[in-house]
């Protein structure tokens, strides 16, 4: 008899886990607190390590058809535009890592996962949040927010940084405000001067803030994320409207590629960036955590979605390979925790570099700038990214 697996959360991590498990013939039910599906937000970056999983799950071609493939990743000085480094992507990344590096609208990835789940007969219940769980030697009982209880063989908490499943497992603890906020928006490319935005993953770094821009949907849209250090904003909602005039003023003295993009922006969102220290425990007998529920990622390595996608494949693999659920979940944790912890911590370190937060970071950027003309900084940056992008969990586990 197939195990009944309940997943808390129908975001990218939850749906990817549902799809991976359904393809392994598990009976999967997803509960999502939102009353309407459709990921709020804008763009995200899918590096080759994530694309290996999406290919194994059968949706890589659909994702690629709706995405944009950037030429390079480039980090520049916020005012002069001088590059600190350039890392080739495009065909170079495909040949080097065996999969594409893509930019995609979050809603497009979410839709592809959702459609694939429906085709695999995954049951998705909207407007229902999982509040807590209780376990005995015989039963796992899950409580919903409408006081209904359900019995399952396994519970996966993919319910984000404020995870109720994590709180039930490890105790209630508050996520930490990083004293950084992120502005996010999307602009139609035809509203911008032609060739203003380069077909890259564009990163501009400066004192106390940084700015990222890239194309979506084959070049029809331009996505941006602007991160600023400040202490007076702690709303974490993805759909909290931002003041576009304030955003323009915040980046008023930046390179024209940034200021012209913001001039054409009509709407933006603003949310606070929260973080948690890496966890030492992801599982509790027949309950496990996944994605932001166990390793929230600051957006300074663009690996939040990718890590949840990798988690999903590893979880499904471990559960299919071992009929002892508790042993399988411990194996899953052992495989995933070291990698996600390392990327979590490195993303934190990048915040200091991107915001020129200390004399040491200023010196690092100065050295990179001096080495850029010789191509040495490009090789240094590429080497640092290799450990992330070259990882192929599908190949590793099969």
Q: What share of the chain is helix, strand, coil (3-state, %, to 5)?
A: 40, 25, 35
CA distance 231 to 217: 34
Rounded CA gap, 398 and 389, in Å? 18
pLDDT score at 233: 61
- Contact (CB, 8 A) for 341 and 278: yes
The one catalytic residue in 31, 214, 313, 332 is 214
Task: Mean pLDDT check: name the lowest of 38-42, 114-118, 141-145.
Answer: 38-42
- Whether 214 sits among the annotated catalytic residues: the reply is yes
CA end-to-end span of the chain, whole Å?
Answer: 24
Taking only the tens place, the pLDDT of each residue in 181-207 is 999 999 999 999 999 999 999 999 999
**Residue 287: phi, psi to the nearest 5?**
-130, 140
Residue 127: pLDDT band with limits 50, 70, 90: very high
Token pair listed for 275: 């973080």
Q: How far apart are CA 197 and CA 193, in angstroms?
A: 8
The span from the CA of 154 to the CA of 329, in Å, is: 10
* CA 331 to centroid of chain Cα atoms: 23
Share of the chain above pLDDT 70, in %: 91
Pairwise CA distance, residues 119 & 132, whole Å: 29
Instruction: Using the predicted structure, report yes or no on whether residue 1 has a pLDDT greater than 50.
Output: no
**Token pair belonging to 342:** 């390392």
Band of pLDDT at residue 364, cut at 50, 70 and 90? low
Q: H or E segment at 12?
A: helix 12-23
CB of 154 within 8 A of CB of 17? no
3-state class (DSSP) for residue 223:
strand
Segment 337-344 mean pLDDT: 96
């Amino acid at each position: 008899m197939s195990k009944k697996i309940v997943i808390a959360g129908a975001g990218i991590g939850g749906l990817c886990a549902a799809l991976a498990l359904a393809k392994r013939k598990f009976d999967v039910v997803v509960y999502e607190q939102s009353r309407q599906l459709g990921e709020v937000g804008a763009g995200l970056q899918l590096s080759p390590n994530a694309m290996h999983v999406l290919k194994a799950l059968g949706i890589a071609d659909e994702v690629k058809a709706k995405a944009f493939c950037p030429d390079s990743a480039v980090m520049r000085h916020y005012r002069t535009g001088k590059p600190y480094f350039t890392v080739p992507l495009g065909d170079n990344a495909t040949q080097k890592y065996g999969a594409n590096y893509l930019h995609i609208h979050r809603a497009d990835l979410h839709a592809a996962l959702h459609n694939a789940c429906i085709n695999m007969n995954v049951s998705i219940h909207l407007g229902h949040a999982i509040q807590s769980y209780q376990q005995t030697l015989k039963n796992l009982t899950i409580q919903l927010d409408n006081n209904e209880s359900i019995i399952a063989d396994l519970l996966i908490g993919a319910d984000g940084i404020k995870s109720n499943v994590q709180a039930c497992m490890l105790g209630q603890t508050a996520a930490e405000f990083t004293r950084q906020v992120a502005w996010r928006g999307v602009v139609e490319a035809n509203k911008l001067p032609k060739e203003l935005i380069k077909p890259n993953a564009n990163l501009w770094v400066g004192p106390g803030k940084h700015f990222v821009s890239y194309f979506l949907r084959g070049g029809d849209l331009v996505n941006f994320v602007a991160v600023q250090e400040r202490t007076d904003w702690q709303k974490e909602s993805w759909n909290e409207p931002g003041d576009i005039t304030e955003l323009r003023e915040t980046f008023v003295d930046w390179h024209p590629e940034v200021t012209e993009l913001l001039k054409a922006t009509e709407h933006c969102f603003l949310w606070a960036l929260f973080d948690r220290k890496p966890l030492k425990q992801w599982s509790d007998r027949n309950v496990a955590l996944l994605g932001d529920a166990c390793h929230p990622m600051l957006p300074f390595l663009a690996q939040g979605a990718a890590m949840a996608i990798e988690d999903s494949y590893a979880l499904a693999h471990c559960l299919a390979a071992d009929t002892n659920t508790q042993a399988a979940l411990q194996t899953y944790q052992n495989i995933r925790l070291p990698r996600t912890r390392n990327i979590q911590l490195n993303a934190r370190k990048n915040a200091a570099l991107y915001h020129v937060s200390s004399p040491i970071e200023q010196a690092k950027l100065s050295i990179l700038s001096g080495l850029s003309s010789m191509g040495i900084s490009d090789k240094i940056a590429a080497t640092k990214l290799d450990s992330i992008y070259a990882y192929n969990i599908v190949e590793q586990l099969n």
